[in-house]
Structure 1
Amino acid sequence: MKPETAAIHALNLVKSATGDVSMPISLSTTFLRDEDGGYPGGHMYSRMSNPNRAALENVITALEFGADTCAFSSGNTAGMSIFQALKSGSHIIAPDDMYWGLKKQLLSIFNETLTFDFISLIDVDKIESFIKPNTVMIWAETPSNPLIKITDIEALAKICKAHKLILAVDSTFASPTLQNPITLGADIVMHSTTKYIGGHSDVLGGSLTTATKNEFWERVKNIQQNGGAVPSPFDCFLLLRSIKTLAYRMKGHCENAMKLAQYLEAHPKVEAVYYPGLPSHPQHDVAKKQMKDFGGMLSVLVKGDAATARKVVNTVKVFAQATSLGGVESLIEHRASVEGPDTKTPQNLIRVSVGLEHIDDLIADFEQALG
Structure 2
Amino acid sequence: MTDTTTAGERLGIVAHSDGPIASAQNIPVQTRSERPASTDHDFFPAVEGWEAEWKLTPVAKIRDLIDGRLDGSPYAIQYPDVVGTTVDWIDRLDSRVGSAGIPEERAAANAWSSFEKALSIRVDGEPDALTVTRAALGSAPRAAHVVVEAAPQSKGLVVLDSRGGAALSENVEILVGQGADLTVVSLQEWDADARHLASHFASIGKDAKLTHIVVSLGGAIVRVNPSAHLAGEGSDAELLGVYFADAGQHLEQRVYVHHDAAHTRSRVTYKGALNGQDARTVWVGDVLIGPRAVGTDTYEQNRNLVLSEGTRADSIPNLEIQTGDIVGAGHASATGRFDDEHLFYLQSRGITEAEARRLVVLGFLVEIVQRIPEAQLQARLIDALVAELEGAA
Higher relative contact order (CA 8 A, sep 6+): 1
- Larger strand share, 1 or 2: 2
Whether TM-score is above 0.5 comes out as no
State the TM-score, normalizing by the size of structure 1. Answer: 0.28
